[in-house]
Amino acid sequence: MAHTFTKHHFHIVFSTKGREELIVKEIRPRLWSYMIGISRKVGIIGLAIGGIEDHVHVLAELPPAMTVPRAVNLLKSNSSRWLRQQGIKFAWQEGYSSFCVSASNLPAVKRYVLNQETHHRKMSLGDELLILLRKHDIAFDQKDVFD
């Protein structure tokens, strides 16, 4: 093949350190916008960002040369710096979850990411992560999900 064609979509989830409820409703729109801006600057296409007080979901298209760990590091380090500049004592958890998303599932995952407030009226982050890990057939030790 003379050319390279790629499309890498990921649903990425990460939470605040200790799952503290630090992302207050009033700051979320500005935080999501800031994270989209970070994405643009580094070549990530941010398709949707949503979340609640203690975690964030990102639906993104990564450039071929960018790894998921690098993308997550860029998003977390820059957004935590910005949040601290807003006067919030803030840190993200060390880990994250990442799931590949096929092009045909993008609309459904985008709706899911953007409707986190409604979704979490019925389900905790822990329950949500267990469902996502099982759905994607990822082996895990339950203690690692809740630490």
For residue range 101-145, what is the model confidence (pLDDT) as tens digits?
A: 999 999 999 999 998 888 777 877 777 777 787 887 877 777 766
8 Å CB contact between 57 and 9: no
Residue 145 lies in a domain: no
Cα separation, 128 vs 72, in Å, equals 20
Residue 1 lies in a domain: no
For residue range 14-61, what is the model confidence (pLDDT) as tens digits?
A: 999 988 999 999 999 999 999 999 999 999 999 999 999 999 999 999
Residue 2 lies in a domain: no
Q: State whether the Cα torsion 9-58-69-100 is positive or negative.
A: negative
Residue 72 lies in a domain: yes
Of residues 76 and 1, more confidently modeled: 76
The whole-number pLDDT of residue 2 equals 75
Q: What is the CATH number of the domain that holds 44?
A: 3.30.70.1290
The whole-number pLDDT of residue 131 equals 74
Residue 41 lies in a domain: yes
Cα separation, 14 vs 58, in Å, equals 9
The parent domain of residue 56 ranges over 8-139
Residue 53 lies in a domain: yes
Residue 126 lies in a domain: yes
Residue 54 lies in a domain: yes
State how many domains the chain has: 1
